[in-house]
């Protein structure tokens, strides 16, 4: 072993510690960089030289080298922001971005995304965030759980999005009917259909306020997004003295007669005295609880006088067991009855439904004309009702609620809307909030993991790229397969520990100084050797 080799040992130490200082300096420089992952440097010794000693063959090391520089993928602190497109990814995984119009794919933990002028969600480099498009599994439901991923990951583009209108397919109306009220409208021939008998769709006021006990109105929508009011009228039926404890109410579901676009049996309903009447029926209460309901709609082959009860039949049920009616506000062809090919039926939920979608009648036969039912005043048992009924607790008549009231009403239609804002859920679903009150799921952001994330290549600008060492990208949704969750209005801070870096900096500095002393000492010894010839 020569003195010269000692110089080279010192040089390897200087090189290794200078690289350590560079790594530490880079970490400290990025202490405020969004999503930055710090790096750790590791040393290893160089090969050793065999030398002879009194104890036999021994080895002497020839210096040090850098073994590896690994990224530290520990979770950084989460800081809140005011932008919904600022996204912090907790746990494992990376957001995926692509350079526009190329196949260059990169991965990042920096979720400070914004929409560019073309509507693409991009990072600070202008690279487009990737996600799956979402589509609604059912066109008649407004529940966000009915959306599903389709296709392959693509650029997230939110531009000129509209929420299309959706026609009303179900109306819910729960009312409290005052059992102490008196009947306002009576009929000697058809007592259960007295209001309907009084209705005149050709009059300026189809039903006088003195002809019903209570009414409730709800706004509904047709397929073009145009709103239409549905009004339900209620009136108590005067029962005979031997009718028992049952209380029966007549109800009538109506629209504006001028908006009635149905054509049945060649007759335009808006030119008929029955215009605007979509459903008629009865509700039977026992001890304050709704125990039965009948519902009639016009027959598809009705003709002549549409107010003749011979033209009305028991309504069809939807899949949930609620009776259906048809309004046909847009006057579509072949869409004027619930069973028509192009019809958009509206289900009516008053708080009771038939689980087996059947009608029952304890007396008489429903094949008879509806007037035969209406003529029976001795008992509510003559009235048809829903088979295997299931009841809502809101469907009551009560003395304790201060008379008539509408307890709950709802419908599932809406008009067209324009995108107002976006939000991102914990599982990465980007939803649009529209001016019509709808929230529609547009994309699900991809979250990518790697078998060996330490094998990723740093590309600068907070980007990583896939390498052979990292393994192939494993793409999925947030909160699945061990991937982390996403927090909106938040960013992940750099995970550099400043205190730890300063300790490492002091150690590297002292290591550099120590190795420089090796060189100066070897130089002094070499000077002594040179001086020997003087």
Tell me: the pLDDT tens digits for 312-347?
889 999 999 999 999 989 888 887 777 777 778 999
Angstrom distance (rounded) from CA 412 to CA 165: 11
Give the largest CA-CA distance in the chain: 145
Check residue 525 and give its pLDDT.
80
In contact, 508 and 500? CB cutoff 8 Å: no
Residue keyed to tokens 């599903």: 148
Check residue 374 and give its pLDDT.
57
Check residue 70 and give its pLDDT.
92
In contact, 440 and 432? CB cutoff 8 Å: yes
Residues of the chain with pLDDT under 50: 139-145, 362-369
In contact, 466 and 105? CB cutoff 8 Å: yes
Joined tokens for residue 284: 């039977």
Joined tokens for residue 322: 């609620």
In contact, 34 and 493? CB cutoff 8 Å: yes
Check residue 387 and give its pLDDT.
86
Check residue 372 and give its pLDDT.
54
Which stretches within 297-398 are classed as H helix?
370-374
Check residue 139 and give its pLDDT.
45
Question: What share of the chain has pLDDT > 70, as a percent?
Answer: 90
Residue-wise over 295-318: b if at least 16 C-beta within 10 A, else e?
bbbbbeebeeebbebebbbbbbbb
Check residue 303 and give its pLDDT.
84
Angstrom distance (rounded) from CA 420 to CA 176: 38
Can you give the pTM of this predicted structure? 0.68
For 366-387, write each residue's pLDDT tens digit: 344 455 555 555 556 667 888 8
Beta-strand ranges (E) seen in 212-335 are 214-221, 227-236, 246-255, 263-264, 267-268, 277-286, 289-298, 312-314, 324-325
Check residue 347 and give its pLDDT.
95
Angstrom distance (rounded) from CA 439 to CA 422: 9
Nearest in space to 41 (alpha carbons), one of 29, 30, 31, 26: 26
């Amino acid at each position: 072993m020569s003195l010269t080799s000692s110089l080279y040992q010192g040089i390897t130490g200087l090189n290794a510690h200078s690289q350590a200082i560079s790594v530490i300096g880079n970490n400290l420089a990025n202490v405020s960089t969004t999503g930055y992952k710090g790096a750790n440097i590791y040393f290893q010794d160089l090969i050793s030289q065999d030398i002879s000693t009194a104890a036999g063959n021994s080895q002497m090391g020839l210096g040090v080298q850098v073994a590896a520089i690994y990224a530290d993928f520990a979770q950084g602190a989460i800081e809140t922001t005011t932008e919904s497109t600022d996204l912090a990814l907790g746990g494992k995984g990376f957001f995926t971005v692509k350079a526009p119009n190329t196949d260059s794919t990169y991965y990042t933990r920096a979720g400070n995304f914004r929409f560019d002028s073309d509507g693409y969600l991009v990072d600070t480099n202008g690279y487009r965030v990737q996600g799956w498009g979402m589509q609604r599994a059912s066109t008649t439901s407004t529940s966000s759980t009915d959306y599903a991923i389709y296709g392959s990951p693509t650029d997230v583009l939110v531009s000129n999005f509209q929420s299309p209108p959706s026609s009303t397919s179900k109306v819910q109306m729960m009312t409290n009917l005052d059992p102490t009220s008196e009947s306002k409208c009576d009929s000697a021939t058809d007592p259960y259909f007295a209001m309907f008998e009084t209705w005149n769709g050709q009059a300026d006021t189809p039903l006088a306020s003195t002809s019903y006990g209570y009414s409730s109105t709800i706004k509904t929508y047709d397929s073009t997004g145009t709103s239409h009011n549905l009004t339900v009228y209620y009136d108590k039926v005067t029962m005979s003295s031997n009718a028992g404890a049952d209380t029966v109410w007549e109800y009538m579901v109506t629209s504006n007669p001028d908006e009635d676009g149905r054509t049945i049996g060649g007759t335009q309903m808006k030119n008929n005295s029955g215009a605007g009447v979509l459903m008629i029926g009865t509700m039977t209460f026992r001890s304050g609880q709704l125990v039965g309901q009948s519902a009639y709609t016009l027959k598809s082959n009705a003709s002549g006088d549409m107010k003749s009860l011979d033209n009305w039949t028991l309504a069809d049920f939807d899949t949930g067991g609620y009776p259906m009616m048809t309004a046909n506000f847009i006057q579509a062809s072949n869409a004027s009855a619930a069973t028509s090919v192009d019809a958009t039926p509206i289900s009516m939920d008053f708080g009771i439904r038939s689980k087996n979608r059947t009608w029952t009648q304890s007396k008489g036969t429903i094949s008879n004309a509806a007037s035969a039912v209406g003529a029976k005043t001795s008992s509510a048992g003559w009235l048809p009702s829903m088979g295997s009924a299931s009841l809502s607790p809101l469907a009551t008549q009560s003395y304790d609620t201060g008379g008539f009231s509408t307890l709950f009403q709802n419908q599932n239609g809406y008009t067209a809307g324009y995108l107002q804002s976006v939000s991102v859920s914990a599982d990465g679903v980007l939803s649009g909030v529209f001016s019509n009150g709808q929230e529609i799921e547009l994309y699900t952001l991809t979250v990518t993991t790697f078998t060996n994330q330490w094998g990723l290549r740093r590309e600068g600008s907070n980007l990583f790229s896939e390498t052979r060492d990292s393994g192939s990208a494993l793409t999925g949704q947030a909160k699945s397969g061990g991937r982390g969750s996403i927090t909106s209005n938040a960013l992940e801070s750099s995970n550099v520990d400043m205190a730890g870096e300063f300790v490492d900096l002091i150690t590297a500095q002292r290591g550099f100084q120590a190795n420089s002393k090796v060189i100066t000492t070897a130089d002094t010894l070499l000077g002594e050797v040179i001086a020997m010839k003087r």
